[in-house]
Amino acid sequence: MEISILQRKLKREKARRQKAEKLLEDKSRELYLSYQTLQKSHEQLDTALKEVKSQQRQLVQSEKVASLGTMSAGVAHEINNPLAFIFSNVNSLSYAIDQFSEYHKHVVGLVSEQSTEIREQRLRALGKYIADVDLEFLFKDCEDLLVETTDGVERVKAIVAGLQAFARSDAGGTESVDIIECLTNTLKLANNQIKFSMKVQEDYSEVPRVRGFPGKLSQVFLNLIVNASHATENGVLKIATRDLGDVVSISFTDNGCGMTEETLNSVFTPFSTTKPVGKGTGLGLSISHGIVAELNGEITVTSEVGVGTCFTIMLAGEVCAKQAA
């Protein structure tokens, strides 16, 4: 009797254990399948995130290319101007070299001549040559031509450097950026595009360098400068830099038409634009906002209709940026 009871108890225990094991096995399988599903979802999200970042980079680059296209005629004009007088000066210097070469021949002939009579003839010929050519003026003119030519070369060099900084992909990560140099180069690129619509006042205080992307920052500055030129006619854009301790402030203040509250609220929204069709993509300020945010900075705007608009960018100084990183 006792053995029978014990057998039944063992049988019930075995059944409960098998049931528990089955339940555990089912739950384990369910958890494993859930894990696989989550892992697959994570991989899909990771792939989607990479695609979004790639599309963002392409969008920034596309906007940059569009800006370069808009600027190309103006930049070509800015380069052609100094090139024209460089070419003219080189021709003048070439003529001067020919005259100096002729002068050198006269002097060598005079010094090497042994006959007193012929030397006197050559001396008179040299004096006449110096008077006819006006060598004194030619010497002075060459000095001026060299100064002008050097200035022209420096102007072209600065424009090309600005183009290189603007067009770079910035794929290698942040760099140490001189904000004032970046602003100066960007203004040179935009000069021909804006010089007939507004004057630019540069109010630069000494500021620390920042960690950033030179090309992208130039793109942000260009967007704000060109937008200001579109908002004003014969107006003024004041660009100011300030060292506020932990951060660097860069402000762009124009006295243009200003924006309504409705426009102001959507100013950084993609494809939001008040420009006529074909005059803008509506992406410039949105992309600028993204670039500044990528640097852990901030861009804000204030505006009043009929008074003007002020965009302010705040970026951490290089030391603070390194500490934050």
State pLDDT tens for residues 4-60.
Answer: 777 777 777 777 777 777 787 777 778 777 777 777 777 777 776 667 666 666 665
C-alpha separations of 250 from 60, 182, 284 in Å: 21, 12, 18
Q: Which among 253, 252, 261 is positioned nearest to 304, based on CA atoms?
A: 261
Handedness of CA 230, 239, 235, 186 (dihedral sign): negative
pLDDT class of 277 with cuts at 50, 70, 90:
very low
Q: How far is CA 59 from the centre of its chain?
A: 15
CA distances to 88, 139, 143, 191 from 149, in Å? 9, 15, 10, 21
Band (pLDDT 50/70/90 cuts) for residue 244 is very high
Element (H, E) at 212: strand 210-212
Distance separating alpha carbons of residues 176 and 212, to the nearest angstrom: 6
Q: Check residue 88 and give its pLDDT.
A: 87
- What gap in Å lies between CA 79 and CA 158, rounded to an integer? 10
- The pLDDT value recorded for residue 319 is 67
CA distance 191 to 316: 28
Helix, strand and coil percent figures for the chain, each rounded to 5: 65, 15, 20
Residue-wise pLDDT for 15-30, tens only, equals: 777 777 778 777 777 8
Residue recorded with tokens 């424009």: 159
| Beta bridge partner(s), residue 247 | 316
